[in-house]
Copies of this chain bind each other. A is one copy, B any other.
Amino acid sequence: MKAQDCLNILREIRDVAFATVDEKGKPQVRIIDIMLVEEGKLFFCTARGKNFYRELTESGETAVTGMNKSYQMVRLSGKVSRVKEQREKIDRIFEENPAMKDVYPGDSRYILEAFCIEDGELEFFDLGRSPIFRESFVLGKQGRITKGYRITDQCTGCGVCQNICPQQCIRKGTPCEIAQEHCLHCGLCYENCPVRAVERREL
């Protein structure tokens, strides 16, 4: 599994959700088509008259997610940039996505502008497995943010966390250890550790 595989899953799902932050600082979300995945980048487009366009260009940030029929979910968050060769890219998008001609016939397609995400963080989840499986990737240059929980050397090895974990993903030891790839980040171990040896990894 690589970052590219995550982008390919999003392209196969095609109708994915894009979140933005509007000018009032509120969350917005829309179903938007992934139009192309090439050169390690994800391409989509929107019309200049839409609020989505405004939010993308003003904030420069978006977050994308989709889940396929096998309950594999991908999340991507990162920076958005306008493509330089607009007309060429829009034409290429219409070639690869012929149904677009029904929505934007003829030259009306050029009200659309193409955007890409080339730097960001990717998360992959397989919710069809038990325990769940998760993995994260870097797209482009952006650094990875570490999420979830870890067990520090304060751990006395009492095993409370291991017994309470809904995904049974804690290995007993001193210290106990969380199998990060199966962790839900639910926080039960964090709340219940009698010596407060569990801490957030993202600080």
Contacts and interface: CB of A to CB of B under 8 A. Distances in A.
A98 interface: no
B21 A166 contact: no
Interface stretch (A3-11, A46-54, A86-94): A46-54
Given A29-B63, A31-B65, A65-B29, A190 B49 contact: yes
A132 B190 CA distance: 49
B188 A28 contact: no
Interface stretch (A34-42, A101-109, A151-159): A101-109
A47 B186 contact: yes
B105 A185 contact: no
A83 interface: no
A81 interface: no
Contacts of A66: 31
A26 B61 contact: yes
Interface residues of A, number: 54
A23 to B, nearest CB: 11
A191 B49 contact: yes
22 contacts: A17-B17, A17-B19, A17-B29, A19-B19, A19-B28, A19-B29, A19-B63, A27-B27, A27-B77, A28-B77, A29-B75, A31-B66, A31-B73, A47-B186, A49-B191, A51-B147, A102-B130, A108-B165, A108-B166, A108-B186, A111-B186, A111-B187
Interface of A: 15-21, 25-31, 47-51, 53, 59, 61-67, 73, 75, 77, 102-105, 108, 111-112, 130, 132, 147, 149, 164-167, 184-188, 190-191, 202
